[in-house]
Amino acid sequence: MAVRKENRMGVLPVKQLIVLMSLPMMISMLVQALYNVVDSIFVSQINENALTAVTLAFPMQNLMIAVGSGTGVGINALLSRSLGEKRYDRSDAAANMGILLTFFSYILFLIIGILFSRSFIMTQTGEKEILEYGAVYLRIVSCLSIGLFFQMTFERLLQSTGRSFYSMVSQATGAIINIIFDPILIFGLFGFPKMGVAGAALATIFGQSVAALLGLFLNLKYNSDISLSIKKVLNIDGSVIKEIYMVGIPSILMISIGSVMTYLINRILIVFSTTAAAVFGAYFKLQSFFFMPVFGLNNGVIPVLAYNYGARKKERIKETLKFSITLAVCIMLTGTIIFELFPDRLLGFFNASEEMLAIGIPALRILGLIFPFAGACIAMGSIFQAFSESIYSLIISVGRQLVLLIPAAWLLSLTGVVDNVWWAFPIAEIGSFILSTVFFRRLMKKVSAELS
C-alpha cells in the first residue's frame, strides 16, 4: 500500500494555510450570498407579496440546510481528525457513511415537502396570494432537494481534505447557474414559460443539482485522500455514523434553532404588517454578504484545527485561532459601516415601497450593530466544532435565539412600535458574545492541558 504524505494542513505556515483553505470558501460563499440577494431581487419584481412568501418559506429551507450542513460538520471533523491521526480506514468510512446519511436526509424532506408545505405557510399567514406563492415555492425546493444535500456533502469532503479550491468551484458553479436561470424562469425569457415564484424555486434546484454532480466528479477525480464506492456506502458502520452524529446532531440542532427563530420572528412581525416581514427577509439576504464569508472562513479553519489537534500541534492551533478571530471581526465591521451609511440604497435593490423604507431604514441601522459580536462568536465557535465540542455551540445558539432573542422581541412588540422589535437582536448578540467567551476560554484550557 502506498505511503501517504503529510497533509499540507500540518506543514504550511498557518496564515498562508488559512488563506489557502478559507479564501476559496469565502469567495464561493460570497457568490452564494450574491445569489441569495439576486434571487430575492428578482422575486421582489413580481410584487412585495412574493418576497414575503419566500421569507415565510425560509425557515423550512434553513432546516434543510441545518440537516445537510450539520451532518457535514460531523463528517468534516471525523474525517480531518482521522487523517491527522493517519487512520485512513476511518477517514474513508466517514466519507462513505456521510454519503449514505445524505441520502436519508433527502428522503426525510421529500416526505415533508409532499405532506406539509402548504400547512407550514398557513401557520404564518392567511393572506391568499402569499399563501399560494409560499406553498408552491416550498413544495418545489423541498421535494427536489436532493441536489442541495449532496452538494453540501461533496463540498464538505473536499474541504475536509484541504481541497477548498474545488469546493469553491462546485459552489460557485451552482450559484452562477442559479443567478442566470432566475430571471429566465421567473419572467419567461428566451422562449421559456413565465413561471413566477415557481421559476425561482426551479432555478434554485437546477443550480444545486449541477453543483452536486460537479462535486461528485471533483471528489472522484482529485480527492486522493478518500476512496468512495457504492460498496463502501452500503457497508454500514454504526460506530462511524454514531461518531458523525455526536458532532453533527448538536450542529444540526444549533442551525435548526435559526429556523425556529426566523419562524417566530416572522409571526411577531407579520402582526404589524406583511411589509415588516418582507423587511426581515430583505435583511436576511443582505446580511449574508458579510456572514457568509465568515462562515467560509470558519469552514476553512475547522479542518485546520481538527487536523492539528489530531497531530498534537499546539502552537499551530493557537496561531490559527488568533488569526481567524481577528479576520472575522474585521469582515463584520465592514458590514456594520455599510448598514449604517447606506440602508436606503440597500433596500432599494428590493423595489422597496415608501412603507418598506420607513420600516427598513431604522431596522438595518439597528441590526448592523450586531455584526462584530457575531463575527467573534462564529470564529470562536470553530474550535467547538473542530474539537468535537459542538454542545457549546448548541448552548450558545439556544441562549441567543430562544432564551434571549424571541422573548425580548415579543416583549418589545407589546409596545406597538415595530422599530423597538429590532433592538432584541443586539441584546441577544451581546449575551451570546459573553457566553461564547466563557466557553472558549474553558475549552482552550482543556486543549492546552491535553497537548502539554
Written as nine digits, the cell of 69 is 450542513
Write the secondary structure of 77-137 as one string of H (helix), E (strand) and C (coil): HHHHHHHHCCCHHHHHHHHHHHHHHHHHHHHHHHHHHHHHHHHHHHCCCCCHHHHHHHHHH
Spatial contact of 406 and 347, defined as CB atoms under 8 Å apart: no
Three-point CA angle 76, 32, 299, nearest 5°:
25
The answer to whether residue 13 is domain-embedded is yes
The answer to whether residue 316 is domain-embedded is yes
The answer to whether residue 1 is domain-embedded is no
Place of cell 461564547: 436
pLDDT score recorded for residue 8 = 63
The answer to whether residue 325 is domain-embedded is yes
Helix (H) or strand (E) holding 26: helix 14-44
pLDDT score recorded for residue 6 = 54
The answer to whether residue 263 is domain-embedded is yes
Q: What is the pTM of this model?
A: 0.81
Written as nine digits, the cell of 442 is 474553558
- Report pLDDT digits (tens) over 232-288: 888 888 888 888 888 788 778 877 888 899 999 999 999 999 899 999 999 988 998
Structural domain that includes position 48: 8-451
The answer to whether residue 3 is domain-embedded is no
Place of cell 469565502: 26
Please count the structural domains in the chain.
1
The answer to whether residue 341 is domain-embedded is yes
- Residues of the chain short of pLDDT 50, as ranges, are 1-3
Place of cell 492551533: 317
pLDDT score recorded for residue 11 = 63
The answer to whether residue 250 is domain-embedded is yes
Sorted by sequence, the CB contacts under 8 Å of residue 430 that are 6+ apart come out as 373
- Please spell the DSSP secondary structure of 294-360, one letter per residue: HHHHHHHHHHHHHHHHHTT-HHHHHHHHHHHHHHHHHHHHHHHHHHHH-HHHHHHTTT--HHHHHHH
